[in-house]
Chains A and B, each alone.
Chain A
Amino acid sequence: MAPKDIDRRTILKSCGVLAMSVAAVGQPGRAEAQVQVAPQLGPPSIATRLTVNGQEVAFDLDARTTLLDVLREHLDLTGTKKGCDQGQCGACTVHVNGRRVNSCLTLAAMHDGDTVTTIEGLASPSGLHPLQRAFIERDGFQCGYCTPGQIMAAAAMLEEARRGAPSHATADLTAVLSLTDAEISERMSGNICRCAAYPNIVAAIRDAAEGGAA
């Protein structure tokens, strides 16, 4: 099984039934391609524009479509997982304007103008994100289905901790926050791993945090 290249241009595929336009950020003149595949069906659609992993996307979709389903079903960014579709498992965690959210619990139309980062956008052209490397090294997953959500949650969590945001596990609110294992576990408890790779996930996050590069 050879790892396949992750083609970020998959994002440029049209969504199929509904109208959608895509423009690459940073391109002069913002050349847009509009694809009309089929007549619109169902309840009102809402025109929405997002920046996903650095690329601007515009779509006009069924108002009931969650951010999660826009990513998975219309932008073919299936790295973000649907585990429960009701905000209980964290598998769908992405960053919206730098904060972690359960993308299943929020409608895409509520995010007009927002910036979204998914697992596909976490690595840089020069290589994997330190958390991604640490998860591999520490074996912080088994089946891999919760993994993108764990990693996206961890990346945002480390930033929260860096800002000094307290958690239930924080004993002294006046002291400089020390990211202990208990702090990591508490802050990551919105992300369920049924393979129960928890000790390895915490170790991976600790490694990435200590490496300072996360």
Chain B
Amino acid sequence: MIGRAVSRVDGPLKVTGGARYAYERQDFGRAAVGFILGASVAKGRIVRLDTAAAERAPGVLHVMTHWNAPAQGPRDGSLPDQFGRPWPVLQGERVSWFGQPVALVVAETFEQARSAAALIDAAYETEAGAFDLASHAHLAYAPRTAAVGLATDSVLGDLDAAMASADVTIDQNYTTPAHFAQPMEPQSCLAHWVGDDLHVRPSAQGVAGARMALARTIRIPRERVHVDTAFVGGGFGSKLRVHEEAVFAALAARVIARAVKVAQTRRQVFTITGRRPETIQRVRLAASRDGRLTGVGHDVNMQGTSREEFVEQTATVLRSLYAAPNRLTRHRVTDLDVGLGEAVRGPGELPGLLAVESAMDELAHELGLDPIELRILNEPERDPERNVPFSERRLVECMREGAARFGWSARAARPGSRREGDELIGIGMAAAIRMHFQGATRAAVHMGRDGRVVVRSDMTDIGTGTYTILAQVAADALGVPLARVTVELARSDLPPSPGSGGSWGASNSSNAVHRACESLKEKVFGSSNASGFGRADLTSVVSRRFPDGVEGEGSIVGMADDPNYRNFSQHTYGASFAEVAVNTVTGEVRLRRMLGVFAAGRIINSKTTRSQLLGGMIWGVSSALHEAAHVDPRYGNVVNGDLAEYVVPVHADIPAALEAVLLDGIDDKANPLGMKGVGELGVCGTGAAVANAVFNATGVRVRDFPITMDKLLAALPPAF
């Protein structure tokens, strides 16, 4: 059962429209509708907020502003559980970013709430703000840590000396824009109070975080918040925290004593929801003439805000990637008056590997070495900064397998040398590495007298396949058919998990479920022969001896409490290959084909895993060619804040010749099942593979992502 290409068990619901997402739930009768009004300035204070007309408008039930908003817990960036931090709304007359919510209108219908919100007369006293990173980069400061508690800096040896004495060096700046996760389901929440208990149907990647954040914001005990987020229409980091929609729904539902639902409009998802910070990255590589790295350096300056620190772990990607005696990696943050930074898929890895793996390609070109050979030459035996062994290390295998499958040997080493009509053709590759994380997780498994199995965890399925893979894990461990297993997820009355996000959900919850199954078997058979039984044995013993069925509980500890994390450097690996055609007349880049080869330990479901990797690879393509949030440096607003102007890949951008290959394996140092995650892995390095293919096609190196026509066209050779 483990490893099989099982179709999603929630597939029939999703293809028939039967899966109900937050805003669609009908749990509390007909809900009133809230509509958020955002500030039309980026920095300043509210000097007028006249809600009289809105309050008189047909159907309006309540208008909430900073004058009448209930007291809430203050924002507190020092709380270690980042996703459970309070998210207070309407905290006074200050405006700190463009689109900051200044009012909520609640009405009987959406049309009424929206039109009443437009009747609010708001005026602001504006102040000059700082909106673009480049002209404020000199104000950067060193944060205490990067995200996930990772070190701000790492220093080994003397990089400056290595750069000064090296045969060949690369010292380049790369820039990446702000990105927005933009899941297809906008951030939404339905809330209802029963006495002092708050019932919410948010769209959340983690139940525990949403519960804690709402409890702290609303100021009620955590036990009085009841969360259910059975279906989540994508998250990609942007639903790790609840936002204004959830807090507003909860506050308003209490005020009007009725269920309230609030969804961000798509344009609000570009202002209220956080962003991946814009970066300026300097990559330095020092190498001997034969291609051995003597020094590596990665300096990242990213935008932040003074409201709450978020330090994407962008400068960590090089720390375990290549061997070199002299090393320097540093995170710096420049506070601007923009929306909060938040995790967006491939946090750190996406922008970091775009820069680092582009630089490695530049070095290979300088040295006249094959890019894969350069990477193999600098393959470390142990983690080069922590000096511990790797739990497993399969980067070279990924590159070699990918090279053979993709036809890498056909690559023309000289850029710009392959031409087909008006098009220049090139291929490129990049390496991928992604830290594996582990979070404390519990699960329960129950087998009834009738042999039916129920798996319970508050873990979410945000499209990741959790419903399916946990059924597979339980069916495998208990020896029952998949159809006998029901998986209940994403409710706060179920055993807690850290949720989906950071590529750890599958492995956290699968291991907890696996152990719960072991514990169940132990209860049935005793500890002596928990293994070595037949399917008939377990179900028949349970049906004979356990009239109420039998329950097992299992857990996995967090990485800080797991000696394997101290003793081993744990990662997933990959290598991606891309072929592009660049039109010399228009500068348009078209992806022709792409391959990723990945190693992520044991795979529970080869079908859903491949899908997640392909999706990640397309995110990588997008980071190279498409996605960028453009902030007006005068007014601080995102000028392309919708799905027409914020360009994400559509069908026509992605060729059918896209493949993800998984190397078989088990990482026995990682956890009992030997598995790791893939949610981020497909994103890692894939953008650089595309960028390197563009260089191979044209000889033009664009270091300001994304590589758009305007940046390429000026540097391209004449078309004829």
User: B615's contact among A81, A142, A203, by CB below 8 Å, is which?
Assistant: A142
**B184–A199 CB distance below 8 A:** no
A79–B644 CB distance below 8 A: no
Among the listed stretches B93-101, B218-226, B420-428, B646-654, which one makes contact with chain A, having 4 or more residues with CB under 8 Å of it? B646-654
Task: For A136, give its contact among B11, B110, B649, B654 (CB under 8 Å).
Answer: B11
Q: Which residues of B contact A73 (CB under 8 A)?
A: 109-110
Q: How many A residues are at the interface, by size bracket?
A: 35 or more
Which of B111, B115, B263 has the most C-beta atoms of chain A within 10 angstroms of its own C-beta?
B111
Indicate if the CB atoms of A78 and B20 lie closer than 8 Å: yes
Q: Which residue of chain A has its CB nearest to the CB of B29? A: A16
For B650, list chain A residues within 8 Å (CB): 189-192, 198
A192 touches B15 (CB 8 A): no
Which chain A residues (102-135) contact chain B, with CB distance < 8 Å? Answer: 118-120, 122-123, 128, 132, 135
Q: Which of A41, A137, A148, A194 has the most chain B CB atoms inside 10 A of its CB? A: A194
A22 at the interface (CB under 8 A from B): no
B607 on the interface (CB 8 Å rule)?
yes
Q: Mark A10-47, 1 if CB is under 8 A from B, else 0.
A: 00000011000000000000000000000001110000
Contact between chains at B656 and A200 (CB < 8 Å): no
Contact with A along B689-713 (1 / 0, CB 8 A): 0000000000000000000000000
Given A1-B230, A142-B234, A197-B614: A79 in contact with B112 (beta carbons within 8 A): no
In angstroms, Cα B615 to Cα A141, docked, is: 10
Decide: B58 and A42 in contact? CB cutoff 8 A: yes
- In angstroms, Cα B655 to Cα A181, docked, is 8
Known: A3-B13, A82-B263. A143 touches B649 (CB 8 A): no
Asked if B467 and A80 make an inter-chain contact with CB atoms under 8 angstroms apart, the answer reads no
Task: Give Cα A43 to B59, complex, Å.
Answer: 11
| Complex alpha-carbon distance, A186 and B651, angstroms | 7
A196-B233 in contact given A1-B467, A145-B185 (Cβ < 8 Å): no
**In the complex, A57 has a CB within 8 A of chain B:** no
- Most-contacted residue by chain B among A120, A136, A145, A200 (CB, 10 A): A145
Instruction: Using CB atoms, name the residue of chain A closest to B487.
Output: A1
By beta carbon, the residue of chain B nearest A7 is: B18
Residue in B17, B266, B610, B615 whose CB lies within 8 Å of A84: B266
Contact A41 B644 (CB under 8 A): no
B612 contact set on A, CB distance < 8 A: 142
B631-662 Cβ-contact flags toward A at 8 Å (1 or 0): 00000000000111000111110111010000
Q: State whether A3 touches B654 (Cβ < 8 A).
A: no
Q: Given the complex, which residues of B lie within 8 Å of A128, measured CB to CB?
A: 12, 15-16
Q: B616 — which chain A residues lie within 8 A by C-beta?
A: 196
Interface residues in A183-214 (C-beta closer than 8 Å to B): 184-186, 188-203
* Contact of A144 (CB < 8 Å), options: B463, B487, B611, B649: B463
Please report the C-alpha to C-alpha distance between residue A193 and residue B14 in the assembled complex, in whole angstroms. 14
Across the interface, do B611 and A200 meet the contact criterion of CB distance under 8 Å? Answer: yes
* Selected contact of B463 from candidates A6, A42, A143, A185, CB within 8 Å: A143
A143 and B184 contact, CB distance less than 8 A: yes
Give chain B residues whose Cβ lies under 8 Å from the Cβ of A188: 651
Expressed in whole angstroms, the Cα–Cα distance for A144 and B438 within the complex equals 27
Tell me how far the C-beta of B622 lies from the nearest C-beta in chain A, rounded to whole angstroms. 8
The closest CB in chain A to the CB of B230 belongs to A1
Which residues on the A side are within 8 Å of B320 (C-beta)?
none
CA distance A200 to B643 in the complex (A): 22
When chains A and B are docked, how far (Å) is the Cα of A78 from the Cα of B12?
15
Cα A78 to Cα B201 with chains together (Å): 15
Q: With A118-B17, A142-B463, A144-B233 as given contacts, are A88 and B643 in contact (CB-CB < 8 Å)? A: yes
Bound form: Cα–Cα A62–B108 in Å: 12
Q: Does A51 contact B (CB under 8 A)?
A: no
CA distance in complex: A198, B657 (Å): 11
Q: How far is the CB of A100 from chain B (nearest CB, A)?
A: 14
| A89 and B643 contacting across the interface, CB-CB below 8 Å | yes
Q: Is the CB of A132 within 8 A of B615?
A: no
CB distance from A95 to the nearest CB of B (A): 13
Of B2-10, B149-157, B240-248, B518-526, the segment with at least 4 beta carbons within 8 Å of chain A is B2-10
Q: Contact check, B186 vs A83: say whether CB atoms are below 8 A apart.
A: yes
Instruction: Judge if B182 is at the interface, Cβ distance under 8 Å.
Output: yes
| B16 near A119: Cβ-Cβ < 8 Å | yes
Instruction: Judge whether A69 is part of the interface by a CB distance below 8 angstroms.
Output: yes
Q: Are B488 and A1 interface neighbours, CB within 8 A? A: yes
Is A86 among interface residues, defined by CB-CB distance under 8 A? yes
Contacts of A72 in B (CB 8 A): 24
Closest-by-CB residue of A relative to B261 is A73
Q: Is the CB of B615 within 8 A of A41?
A: no
B24: chain A residues at CB < 8 Å are 72, 78
Residues of B contacting A86 with CB < 8 Å?
266, 642-644
Within 8 A of A (CB), among B116-141: none
A136 touches B266 (CB 8 A): no
**A196 & B654 in contact (Cβ 8 Å cutoff):** yes
A137-157 residues with Cβ-Cβ distance < 8 A to B are: 137, 139, 141-148, 151
Name 4 extra pairs, CB < 8 A, besides A69-B111, A132-B16, A202-B651: A17-B109, A73-B109, A141-B463, A142-B611
Minimum-distance CB pairs A-B, first 4: A79-B17, A145-B233, A143-B463, A142-B463
User: What are 8 residue pairs bridging A and B, where the CB atoms are less than 8 Å apart in the complex?
Assistant: A3-B13, A83-B643, A86-B643, A142-B234, A145-B183, A145-B233, A181-B656, A196-B614
